[in-house]
Amino acid sequence: MLVNKSIKINKSKLSQEYNPEIFSISEHAFDVLNDHKTIAQKLKNKNPYTITIIIDNLDPKFWNNKKYVEKTRMPIQSHYMELLYEYFFTEFDHREGNEVYAKWLDKYTAVWKKEEMKKELDDYIIKNELEPRYREKILKKYKNHEKLFKPRVEIKKSRYYNLPSPLNHVDWRNPYDTIFVWEEDDRKVFRKGGGGSSGGRETNSKFIFGLSLINKIKPIKSFLFLYSDDNKLYFIKEFPSLTVPNYDIGCNYHLKNREAEKILSKTNLIEWEDFNELKEVNVTLSN
């Protein structure tokens, strides 16, 4: 029997106090856990639990504030280098250009290895293929050669994620992080899943399926948090049984529908609609 419940979210009533042991995690786990059955088998006696952090979008007014965002100067290619590739993909369409470039990579791999890979493989292609083809055209068109070859930088902005290391990173594409924690040799280790990357979705799916198998036998605790639009972490709720976001399950790690439904039959699933500022979390409780 499924029971639907709603948790109203009001930041003024949420607490920033929580048991610090929840986040007392040593390091990323490097175990080979290729499938959900292996995860269930290896973690069943290692006191696993999950932490879900719903991530509000950062308030736009903070994107230039160093208290909330780290700014890093990243070197990028010169305008000249950019134009070499622009001319190349103008001459060839994208598909044919990729095929031509792949042949060039094969062509120069041997000499690149012979010279002990002291420079980038692309440098051989630039010098021997792109520059002979486009250099004169570029120099003729762009008269300010100093500006053309001048090194450039771009400012990369990374949102701060105020959690203890090694959890202190947020993928800005993620609407949530799901952190899977277990004990290993008297310490806690973790893997992190999310919806922002293919690897994150795969990890998310494998571990949810794997822990759901364990949860059928003995309940796995889950903790739900909110990372707000002003980079504050709020505790929402502790669940006595496995409770995870009902998003991306099966993505990049697919099971047949009937098998997936059977595995998840005792798992609580949460959903929310407010991706800019969380107002409500809907929980489907499996009894």
Same domain, 265 and 200: yes
Which of the listed residues 95, 127, 150 is the one where a domain comes to its end? 150
Same domain, 175 and 269: yes
Same domain, 166 and 282: yes
Confirm whether 68 is domain-assigned.
no
Q: Would you say residue 2 has pLDDT above 70?
A: no
Same domain, 52 and 165: yes
Report yes or no: 63 and 156 within 8 Å, Cβ to Cβ: no
Confirm whether 238 is domain-assigned.
yes
The pTM score is 0.76
Same domain, 146 and 178: no
Q: Would you say residue 1 has pLDDT above 60?
A: no
Which of the listed residues 96, 122, 150 is the one where a domain comes to its end? 150
Same domain, 144 and 166: no
Domain of residue 256, residue span: 2-62+161-286
pLDDT reported for residue 281: 83
Same domain, 33 and 112: no
Confirm whether 69 is domain-assigned.
no
Report yes or no: 168 and 88 within 8 Å, Cβ to Cβ: no
Confirm whether 223 is domain-assigned.
yes
pLDDT digits 0-9 by tens, 212-251: 999 999 999 999 999 998 999 999 999 999 999 998 898 8
Quote the number of domains for the chain.
Answer: 2
pLDDT digits 0-9 by tens, 115-148: 888 889 999 999 999 999 999 999 999 999 999 9
Same domain, 185 and 266: yes
Confirm whether 73 is domain-assigned.
no
Confirm whether 258 is domain-assigned.
yes
Tokens standing for residue 42: 């290896």
pLDDT reported for residue 43: 95
Same domain, 132 and 178: no
Which of the listed residues 120, 150, 180 is the one where a domain comes to its end? 150
Confirm whether 67 is domain-assigned.
no
pLDDT digits 0-9 by tens, 240-249: 999 999 988 9
Confirm whether 74 is domain-assigned.
no
pLDDT reported for residue 220: 97
Q: What mean pLDDT do residues 153-176 have?
A: 83
pLDDT reported for residue 254: 85
pLDDT digits 0-9 by tens, 253-263: 888 889 999 99
Report yes or no: 73 and 97 within 8 Å, Cβ to Cβ: no
Cα gap 131→81, rounded to integer Å: 9
Report yes or no: 5 and 285 within 8 Å, Cβ to Cβ: yes
Min mean pLDDT across 59-63, 155-159, 206-210, 283-287 is at 283-287
